[in-house]
Amino acid sequence: MKVIIAGGGIGGLTAALFLHKAGVPCKVYEKVPEIGHLGVGITLLPHAVKALDEIGLMAPLDRLGVRTDRMIFRTRGGQAVWDAPRGLKAGYDVPQITAHRADIHTVLLDAVAARMPAGTLTLDAAFESATETGDGVVATFRRADGSTFTDHGDVLVGADGIHSAVRRHLNPDEGAPRWSGLLLWRGSVDWPVVLDGHTIINSGGMTRKFIFYPIGPGKTPGTQLMNWACVIRAAAPGSPTPGREDWDREARAEVLHPILQDFTVPETDIRAMVDATPVFWDFPMCDRDPLASWTRGRITLLGDAAHPMYPFGANGSAQAILDARMLGQICGQGGDPAAALLAYEAARLGPVNEVVAGNRMGGPERVIDEVEARIRDLPGQRFDDLETIMPLAEREAIVNGYSRIAGFATEQMR
């Protein structure tokens, strides 16, 4: 079986490496003519790290990124509602890792270049259309200069992100992604180490949130590269987006100043952190309604192309990596290519669509929304006894329940 993959992001490249491990030849076609150092921080949850370990990539990512040992959820007013160990400290046999998206991408690109035949990855190749033939599929790609070329494979996998052209080919009437009405700002900056240097701190619920965590070493002693993201509600869910959902739209600090005044974060000055960030980006937080099927004949979808999701719960990259592993395993078993794609879809679509739905409700951070809703009428929105506001069992049901849905619950969480 020869597999054609449209899209050389985290999902597409990981799929190529799993297919290679299974002995299945493949080619990856990526739209951009040049790979840029784009994006900011990404969380690799333990189940994704375990998958990456199976293709020998845990060690380089562990060296580049930062192990997450602890996660704190707070109200916007600064009161802790959840404070728990993560990764190895929580009993997993692999770490949870946060890293710069570009570093993760580079590790994958290097592995493809080192292990797979020359010419596996073609840049400047935007998927445009596909035609199924009796014995496979012919995909047409367009270069930036307007010229086109084709390749023939047994199957085509669309791993081409939230604006997937392969998904559009399969579902021409679907339209644009659906905006949640939430705006997301993201940036990273060298910043003095906070707490143990291995903690994710998340303040505020779904519609007004500030989250930060380290993703690598800083340039000077005592600093780390700190990733931050801020979310606010700007419109009702389903409103028209304020611009295309691109990952590289630059934003301005002044917009955030009044918003940041609402947060109390005891560990560090988040306003100074934002002001010190040389450049950062905004992104209208979008997803798409789950599809009933990703596959038609010899064509299927993977990663954000199949199931774009809100970043609550930090599962976008993890679910793409799990798709990639499943695709590699199933294609490696041989047999009828169309049946293999259906088997891949049967294993992945149901569980991932549950994650998409869970993220629409705020993911594990929904526990903060619940506590904030219950304290709304308290003077100064402060509480002395969290247990009376929301007992631990209820908080665990939300946070650990999400881990179960997303497929990375430990035995104790089940």
Ligand X SMILES: Cc1cc2nc3c(=O)[nH]c(=O)nc-3n(C[C@H](O)[C@H](O)[C@H](O)COP(=O)(O)OP(=O)(O)OC[C@H]3O[C@@H](n4cnc5c(N)ncnc54)[C@H](O)[C@@H]3O)c2cc1C
Task: State the nearest-atom distance from the C-beta of 17 to ligand X, in Å.
Answer: 13
Task: State the nearest-atom distance from the C-beta of 37 to ligand X, in Å.
Answer: 10
CB nearer ligand X, residue 42 or residue 368: 42
208: amino acid identity, one letter: R
Q: Which residues contact 145 (CB under 8 A, 6 or more apart)?
A: none
Written as six digits, the tokens of 128 are 């445009």
Task: List interacting residues with ligand X (CB under 6 A).
Answer: 6-12, 29-32, 38-40, 42, 101, 126-127, 159-161, 165, 186, 247, 303-305, 311, 316-317, 320
Task: State the nearest-atom distance from the C-beta of 143 to ligand X, in Å.
Answer: 11
Gap between the Cα atoms of 364 and 384, Å rounded: 23
Task: State the nearest-atom distance from the C-beta of 161 to ligand X, in Å.
Answer: 3
CB nearer ligand X, residue 179 or residue 383: 179
CB nearer ligand X, residue 38 or residue 397: 38
Q: What's the gap between Cα 403 and its chain centre?
A: 15
CB nearer ligand X, residue 290 or residue 395: 290
Question: 3-state class of 40 per DSSP?
Answer: coil
Gap between the Cα atoms of 307 and 301, Å rounded: 9
Of 10, 3, 55, 7, the C-alpha closest to 25 is: 3
Task: State the nearest-atom distance from the C-beta of 160 to ligand X, in Å.
Answer: 4
Please identify the residue of the shown chain whose CB is closest to the bound ligand X: 9
CB nearer ligand X, residue 8 or residue 284: 8
Gap between the Cα atoms of 17 and 298, Å rounded: 20
Q: What are the strands, taking DSSP E only, across 218-257? A: 223-233, 249-251
Task: State the nearest-atom distance from the C-beta of 156 to ligand X, in Å.
Answer: 11
CB nearer ligand X, residue 27 or residue 67: 27
Question: 3-state class of 283 per DSSP?
Answer: strand
Cα→Cα distances 319→233, 273, 331, 389, Å: 26, 30, 18, 33
